[in-house]
Amino acid sequence: ESFLYYTKCYLRESLPLQAMFICILSLPLFHTFISLLTLFLGDVRVRSRAGFETERRGSHPYIDFRIFHSNSEIEVSVSARNVRRLLSFQRYLRSSRFFRGITVPNSSNILDDDYNGQAKCMLEKVGNWNFDIFLFDRLTNGNSLVSLTFHLFNLHGLIEHFQLDTMKLRRFLVMVQEDYHSQNPYHNAVHAADVTQAMHCYLKEPKLSKSLTPWDVLLSLIAAATHDLDHPGVNQPFLIKTNHYLATLYKNTSVLENHHWRSAVGLLRESGLFAHMSLENRQLMESQIGDLILATDISQQNEYLSMFRSHLDRGDLCLENANHRHFILQMALKCADICNPCRTWELSKQWSEKVTEEFFHQGDIEKKYHLGVSPLCDRQTETIANIQIGFMTYLVEPLFGEWARFSNTRLSQTMLGHLGLNKASWKGVQREQSGSGDDVDPAFEEMDSDILPQEPRLS
C-alpha cells in the first residue's frame, strides 16, 4: 500500500522523483519485494537452442517423500530446498579467494595460488594408477574435482588450444562440483574426480595418445567430470516406482544418464565457457558429450560390450576414423566409471563400502515406505562381499577383459591383477562370514540376462 501511495504521489507531480525513491527504498516491504524478485529471476530455466530443455544448475532431483505421507503429516517446504540449492554457489563465491577480483597472469599461477605443496606434489603423479583420490580430496579441502580437472585441462594443453577463459573454466568446474551431492556416500564429486583421473590414465595409453585429437580429449574430460552430475543417490527403478518427475520426463529410459547429460549442458551454457565457438560446434560438443555419458547406463552394458567384441574379433577398429575413436572413448568412460575393483585393495575397499552404504540407504527408504526393496539394497540379507563378488564376476571382469584385448599394456595387466586380488580378498571375507567361498549374490543371477555380459575371451 505504501509503495502504491508513493507511486500515485509521483504521478500527480506532488512528490519529486528523488524524494519518492528515498521513501520507497526505506520501506522494508520494498526490500522484501526486490529479494523475492531476485530469487524468482535466478530460478528461470535455461531454454535449449538444440531441441531440448537443459536441466538448470541446482535443479537438484531430490526425492519428494511427501508423496508417501498422509495429509495430516507435516510437509517439507520444497521452495526452501530450492532456495538453499540456489544460494549454495553464492556462498562459495563469497568464501573463495579466487573470485575476489584477483587477477592471474596465466593458468600456472592459478595452480600456485590454490594448491598447497602436498596437493601439487600429488598432481605431478596424476597419471599413476595408484593415485589416492581420497587423500587428494582432503589436501584440497574437498575441492578434488575442481583442482584435478583444471590441472588436466592445463596439462593436455586444452586451455591454450581452445583459447579458454580460465575464469570461465574455473567457474564451470566449481558449478559442476557444487551440483554433486556431498551427502551421497558414493555418487558425489569425489567419485567424479576419481573417474576423471582414470579417464586421464586411459587417454595416455599408446593406442589412444597417438590418435586422439584435442577435441576428443576435451569431450572425454568434460564427460568424465559430469557423468553423474546431480545424482540423487538412488537408482532408476526407484525413480520409476516413486513416479519421480525425471522418470516421466525421460520416459523411464536412461533416466539418470539423461539428467546428468542435460545438467552438464545447462552448466556449459550458463558458464559461457565455449561462447566464443560457433553454434554448430557447441551443438556438436553437447551431442557428443551426451553420447559418452549415456554409454555409462549399466543396463546397456551388453549392447556396448557385444559391439566392442565384434570389432575386436574382426580387427577393424581404425582410430583414424572419428566414429571409431568416439566409440573407444565411450568404452573408456564405461571402464573409468566402474574401475573401483581394479584399484589397489586399500582404495577399492573404501569404494566398495561407500557404494554399499548408498545401496542400503535406498533399501532403508524402500522398507520405510513399503515400496519393495530393490536388489542389492537390503542390509539384512546382503553383504559387501557378496555384492562385490557378483559385481566383479558379471560386470567388471568381462568389460576389462575386452579392454585388455584392445589395449594390452602394463596398465591393463595391472588393472586385471588388482581385480583378481580384490576378488580373492572378498571371497576370503565371504568365507569368514558364511563358511563358503563359492556363493555369488543371487541378485546378480536374477538380473535380466540381456543386461549381463558373457564371459570375457582373452587373447
State the DSSP string of 84-106.
HHHHHHHHHHHH-GGGSS---SS
Q: What residue has cell string 574437498?
A: 142
253 pLDDT exceeds 80?
A: yes
| Residue 292 CA to its chain's centroid (Å) | 12
Over 60: is that where the pLDDT of 91 sits? no
Q: Is 188 annotated as a binding residue?
A: yes
Cα torsion angle, 287, 292, 296, 301, sign = positive
pLDDT at residue 435 above 80? Answer: no
pLDDT value for 289: 98
Burial label for 288, CB within 10 Å (0-12, 13-18, 19+), is buried
Q: With cut-offs at 50, 70 and 90, classify the pLDDT of residue 423.
A: very high
User: What is the rounded distance in angstroms from the CA atom of residue 410 to the CA atom of residue 388?
Assistant: 24
For residue 228, say whether it is annotated as part of any ligand binding site: yes
Measured CA to CA, the distance from residue 386 to residue 438 in angstroms comes to: 10
Q: Is 439 annotated as a binding residue?
A: no
Residues 102 and 113: beta-carbon distance below 8 Å? yes
- The domains of the chain are located at 2-42
Asked if the model's pLDDT at residue 128 lies above 50, the reply is: yes
CA distances 228 to 68, 95, 212, Å, are: 27, 26, 24
C-beta atoms surrounding 117 within 10 Å: 8
60, 181, 187, 231: the active-site residue: 187
Is 190 labeled as ligand-binding?
A: yes
Q: Which candidate, 330, 179, 339, places its Cα nearest to that of 259?
A: 179
Whether 165 shows a pLDDT value over 60: the answer reads yes
pLDDT above 90 covers what percent of the chain? 69
pTM > 0.75: yes or no: yes
Is the pLDDT at 131 greater than 50? The verdict is: yes
- Looking at per-residue confidence, does 73 or 137 come out higher? 137
DSSP state of 340: G
pLDDT band, residue 80 (cuts 50/70/90): very low
187 catalytic per annotation: yes
- The CA-based angle 287-289-291, given to 5 degrees, is 70
380 is written with which cell numbers? 539384512
Residue 191 labelled as part of a binding site: yes
Chain center to CA of 47: 22
Confidence of residue 434 (pLDDT cuts 50, 70, 90): confident
227 is in an annotated binding site: yes
Angle at which helices 214-226 and 255-271 cross, to 10°: 120
Residue type, position 377, single letter:
C
* Interval 93-106: pLDDT, tens: 444 444 444 444 44
CA-CA distance, 426 to 388, in Å (whole number)? 7
pLDDT tens-digit map of 265-316: 999 999 999 999 999 999 999 999 999 999 999 999 999 999 999 999 999 9
DSSP secondary structure letters along 428-459: HHHHHHHS-S----HHHHTS-TTTSPPPP---
* Confidence at 205, pLDDT banded by 50, 70, 90: very high
Mean pLDDT value of segment 44-48: 37
Residue 388, annotated ligand binder? Answer: yes
Flag whether 380 is marked binding: no
Calculate the average pLDDT of the chain. 82
Joined grid coordinates for residue 390 = 557378483
- Which residues have a Cβ under 8 Å from the Cβ of 368 and sit 6 or more positions away? none
